[in-house]
A and B are shown apart, each in its own frame.
Chain A
Amino acid sequence: MRVAAVNQVAEASAGIMPGMRLADARARLPGLCVVSAEGDEDMAALAALGDWCGHWTPWVSLDATGPDSVLGVSHGLWLDITGCAHLFGGEVALLNDVLCRLTHFGFTVRAALADTPGAAWAVAHYGAGKQECEQVIAPGHTHAALAMLPLRALRISPVEVDGLERLGFRAISDLYGIPRGALARRFGDGVMRRLDQALGHEDEPLSPRRPVTLYRARRGFSEPIASREAITAAVHLLLNELAGMLEADEQGARWLELNFYRGDGKVEHIKVGTSAPVRTLSHLMRLFAEPLDVLDASFGFDSVELVVSFSQPLAPTQLSLQTQPATTASSVIDTEVQEFFIPEEGGNEVAQLIDRLGQRLGLANIYRVVLFPSHVPERAMVSGLAVDLGEAAKPSALDIPGTPATQLSHWPAAKQRPLLLLPRPEAIEAVAMLPDAPPMMFRWRCMAYRVTKAEGPERIAAEWWHEEGTASLNGDAGSIRDYYRVEDDRGRRFWLYRDVACCSHNSLGWWLHGLFG
């Protein structure tokens, strides 16, 4: 067992370091208080903190590099503050704000601000500055700032650090004038690449934790807001701002996310997906209305951010004057003018309905079906989410390769097929006079049915040439079914089949698969 992290007291008084054996640490300080490390929960907490840092910049990523992550746990956050610092009164003020707020949450924080991620990482981990202004490396001073830092600050592996130290290198400045070829031969290009990245000779891209936002609107408040009315009004303002941006670019939102930055360092997310590109204020307001009801606003929100993570082109629509408003106002904000001018074509009202239903019941529960050219009953129907298929489910939307759309539309309709198909065939006890004859009577779900009319058999074999086709008939390429349409004495019609050949299991019995209307 090894030490994953220590607090300042233990480090200062007994010299316990991360990576040390627990027995050694206990020997140095017998009264050591040990708590088992929970890497996953640490990561979750760090990720939550990263989300909260969206307060300063949308470009936040978790630090997963460096020798610091002994047990595979990273303890850092990158914040790309390009173009954000002036909003908080300059770089020093921003760093001060970050340190102040995070310390307030109870974290021990070290932060640095530099031209490159590598330099910021080095200074944050090994910089000696006590004041915030010393941790901000001015543009062009990276070279000098890194000079006296140890080699470990380059995010290279301990093995490489050892090797370099054995050669007499102590600080990063020792590496500045060395011929590259000599080092690369001994250590590979890892060391030089890290140095180049730190000095800005090589680019180091950071991937943002949250998807890149196409459109973003944000409001900060001097006092935290908590009342439903205030939140609704803020959301309305943001949506209004965003609708303007979208309209200017002729875009409509497909995925929206509302982030509420809470006073206690948590972030509440509300995600809304739409089935068609949309920028109608009243519709978006209605989509957000329900999740806003269950929002936990106990601590109040410092700022609210609205983000469109996915958008699609949406041409401007011709508005017409109509005396009858299309929808009734459900939002508290007066949207009279918007409702007076309604689009001439109400084509995407079905899409809006799907959005409203999906918001409450889950978009995954709303689907459309199309016919698929297959004789295997389970494969003759393909369902797809109504959101993806949009206005009308066309087979082409499901991307069925190799089959023209016209051929698909009515393909299996010529056959007699049941109206209701059981999710999986149910075993029945059936009595048949002859091996190939339809049953005289059968028992299904504890009820006996006397067959008066029967038609069949219709033989359906597994599609052995197709992977999914074999999988659908109980995963058995050799299985063959004989289907019968039977009618009982009261006129109920059923679709039964008999297993003719089946390799995987021996029960060559009768099964009930569907009910006719």
Chain B
Amino acid sequence: MWRVAGKFYVGAKESPSLMLRTAPSDSALRASQQATTKVAKVAELRRHIDSLERAGCGGMAGKRVKAPGLLSFGAPEIDETLPWRGLASGALHEISGPVRDAAAFGFVSALLARLAAHSPGAVLWCRRLGASYETGNIYAPGLAAFGLDPSRLIFLDAKRGRDVLWAMREGLSCPHLLAVVGEMEESPVGLTASRRLQLAAEKSGITCFLLRTLPEEGAEEANAALSRWCVRAAPSGPVPGLTSVVAAERWLGPGRLRWRAELRRCRAAAAREWLVEWRHEKGNFTVAAPLCDRPVKPAAAGLAL
């Protein structure tokens, strides 16, 4: 731990002196060098701030904090926007979606598949006992289609919403899990409960996803999740393998999975919206159309607190 911190200090002190010493004759070379040093410096500083923020969180919790991991989307456009070059693992992420729309479930399954591809461990999926009548059962062949081995999931049916929260917190205290998913539907979570989940996730380094039903406009409640997403279904993209234009035009079936993923709040990142596409062959996300990659309403944009 101290070695890593030391490296950051050296970097932060040396970077300004590096800039002063560079005095090449060629202006173009100089400009490019300046640009690269600038980028490197910004990246270095950003990492430094990250480490400070992380250390601060851990200090508040009074417990050991594991080295911050990350869960990248595999799409540079999204990863670059997020402060950790992807989603921070070992944190709470809220993903909400409209009712009768499985997009949020698909988004989480895709993220879990990416997480499970690299690290061992089981995933705990907590639901309310009657939730399957409203949303349906999680279907193992469907999970397998996302590249997620269904046998790595442990499902749990709890009677009440607060039991789901309790089970999630219990799960986050077990360091051998990979991730914890909790479905809370419309039930309120509250600032305290979500803060507890966030601290537990930070302490154990387990990624935690909170699946919610999208609340009505203006009815959003405060939440301590590190990032908050709203995911909706979007008309599907082209079908993989149909190269000829004629064949693609004649094809009337659905194509690649697409979601409209909206980053509503995130610590140290602006609210954005992307049209993401899931490529199950490679198991990564791509941003489907650059046209859709635009900030949301100006009033809602800005740094989240």
Contact = CB atoms under 8 A, between A and B. Distances in A.
Interface of A: 324, 346-347, 349-350, 352-354, 356-357, 360-361, 365-371, 377, 380-381, 383, 386, 392-395, 409-410, 412-413, 415-423, 444-445, 447, 452-456, 485-487, 489-493, 514-517
Contact of B177 (A350, A393, A412): A350
Contacts of B135: 420, 515
Interface in B205-233: 232-233
Contact of A393 (B107, B110, B129, B151): B151
Task: Give the interface centre of B129, B136, B166, B232 by most chain A CB atoms within 10 Å.
Answer: B136
Contacts of A517: 102-103, 105-107, 109-110, 142, 146, 257
Nearest 5 Cβ contacts at the A-B interface? A517-B106, A455-B253, A420-B136, A419-B142, A491-B233
Interface string B40-58: 0000000000000000000
Contacts of B149: 409
Interface stretch (B19-27, B153-161, B189-197): B153-161
The binding surface of chain B is classed by DSSP as mixed
Contact of A417 (B137, B145, B151, B171): B145
Nearest to B239: A455
B142 A516 contact: yes
Given A350-B122, A491-B233, 8 more contacts: A361-B167, A418-B136, A420-B102, A455-B253, A456-B253, A485-B254, A491-B260, A515-B100
Contacts of B145: 413, 416-417, 419
Contacts of A447: 100
Nearest to B164: A361
B156 A454 contact: no
Contact of B166 (A360, A421, A423, A514): A360
B295 interface: no
A419 B109 contact: yes
B280 to A, nearest CB: 10
A418 B132 CA distance: 14
Contact of A419 (B124, B146, B155, B260): B146
Interface in B110-157: 110, 122, 124, 129, 132-133, 135-146, 149-157
A58 B92 CA distance: 51
A80 to B, nearest CB: 42
Contacts of A357: 156, 167, 170-171
Contacts of B122: 350, 392
A419 B139 CA distance: 5
Contact of A366 (B138, B155, B253): B155
20 contacts: A349-B174, A353-B174, A357-B156, A357-B167, A361-B159, A367-B155, A368-B151, A370-B150, A371-B144, A383-B155, A409-B151, A419-B138, A419-B142, A421-B137, A421-B139, A487-B235, A491-B236, A493-B254, A514-B136, A516-B102
B139 A413 contact: no
B234 A491 contact: yes
B156 A453 contact: no
B131 to A, nearest CB: 10
Contacts of B177: 350, 353
Nearest to B173: A353
B80 interface: no
A381 B176 contact: no
Given A361-B167, A368-B154, A447-B100, A491 B139 contact: no
Given A417-B141, A419-B109, A421-B139, A453 B236 contact: yes
A428 to B, nearest CB: 12
Task: Give the interface centre of B109, B132, B144, B234 by most chain A CB atoms within 10 Å.
Answer: B144
B283 to A, nearest CB: 13
B144 A410 contact: yes
B186 interface: no
Contacts of B38: none
B30 interface: no
Given A350-B122, A416-B145, A489 B156 contact: no
Interface in B78-122: 100-103, 105-107, 109-110, 122
B106 A516 contact: yes
B95 to A, nearest CB: 12
Contacts of B255: 453
B257 to A, nearest CB: 6
Contact of B143 (A324, A419, A422, A444): A419
Task: Give the interface centre of B157, B175, B235 by most chain A CB atoms within 10 Å.
Answer: B235
